[in-house]
Structures are given as C-alpha cells and as structure tokens.
Amino acid sequence: MGEIYYGLGEAALLENDVEHAARRARQALANAASSRQRIELGLGQRLLARVAALQPDLVPEGSPSALFTQSEVTLRETGDREELAQSLLAHAQHLGQTQGDAKHMRALQREAHALFTDLGMQWRIPGPT
C-alpha cells in the first residue's frame, strides 16, 4: 500500500502539487511503519526529501540532504540496488541544483552509475545545473 502512496506522490510532483506530494509521502511513511516494509520506508523518505527540496516549509522533519541520506541508508539495508541508485541520483541532482557539496554530488553520481551499470541499466547522470 505504501508504494501506491509513493506513486501518487510522485505523480503529484509531476503536476507541481507539492502539498499533495507531502501528504502522500507521510501516508507512505505511516504505512511503511505499520507494515514494517523497509523498501516502502526508503521510498517514502525519498519522496519526502524531494518535497523538502522544493518547499522546505512543508517538511519540518529535516533537510532535503538529511532525508535523502535516510532513504539511502534504509534502501542500502534492504539490498534493493535499483531503488538505492534512484535515491543516490535524486540526492546528487538536489546537490547540483542547490550548489551543494560538488565532491559529495560526484560521489553519489558515481555510486548510482556503478549500480545502474551493474544492474545492466543505462542512465544519463546529469551534472550540476
């Protein structure tokens, strides 16, 4: 069920409805906590981080980078390398957009690229904007 909320939140972000995405992220996190689904927890954390990056006042739970890091830790524990790579890439993109730590951004990009390559996937790793 948490993956449904995550998907709805991602769709809301595509529509620039950040408040709706924040509600869906919290629903995903609540569902993940009650069902003890670690992958869903990591997805919810990533969605909340993306919301925080767009509208920090909606997310008192933490900074975007802290929330992305939580997602990465959670997904690393699950062994879901594809979702981990997605979180690493989202975090790197956030750092690139905010003029964040360039060295950290490149390290995240390299790890995401290595995971995508290892999974047989192709992915264009964008640089800072």
Residue 123, in any domain of the structure: no
Residue 26, in any domain of the structure: yes
pLDDT band (50, 70, 90) for residue 126: low
Within a 10 A sphere around the Cβ of 120, how many other Cβ atoms? 6
| pLDDT at residue 112 is higher than 80 | yes
Looking at residue 123, its pLDDT comes to 62
Residue 128, in any domain of the structure: no
* Residue 57 DSSP class: G
Domain hosting residue 92, numbered range: 2-118
Residue 126, in any domain of the structure: no
| pLDDT at residue 129 is higher than 70 | no
Does residue 77 contact residue 38 with C-beta atoms inside 8 Å?
yes
How far is 45 from 37, CA to CA, in rounded Å?
12
Residue 125, in any domain of the structure: no
Instruction: For residue 59, give the CATH number of its domain.
Output: 1.25.40
pLDDT tens digits along 64-103: 999 999 999 999 999 999 999 999 999 999 988 887 788 8
How far is 43 from 1, CA to CA, in rounded Å?
12
| pLDDT at residue 127 is higher than 60 | no
The structural domain count of the chain equals 1
Residue 94, in any domain of the structure: yes
pLDDT tens digits along 14-51: 999 999 999 999 999 999 989 899 999 999 999 999 99
Looking at residue 1, its pLDDT comes to 67
| pLDDT at residue 2 is higher than 80 | no
Give the relative orientation of helices 2-14 and 38-54 as an angle to the nearest 10 degrees.
20
Considering the entire predicted model, what is its pTM?
0.85
Q: Which tokens in the block code for residue 82?
A: 């594809």
Q: Which tokens in the block code for residue 4?
A: 């449904």
Within a 10 A sphere around the Cβ of 10, how many other Cβ atoms? 16
Residue 75's alpha-carbon distances to 15, 37, 45, 78, 102, in angstroms, are: 26, 11, 10, 5, 23
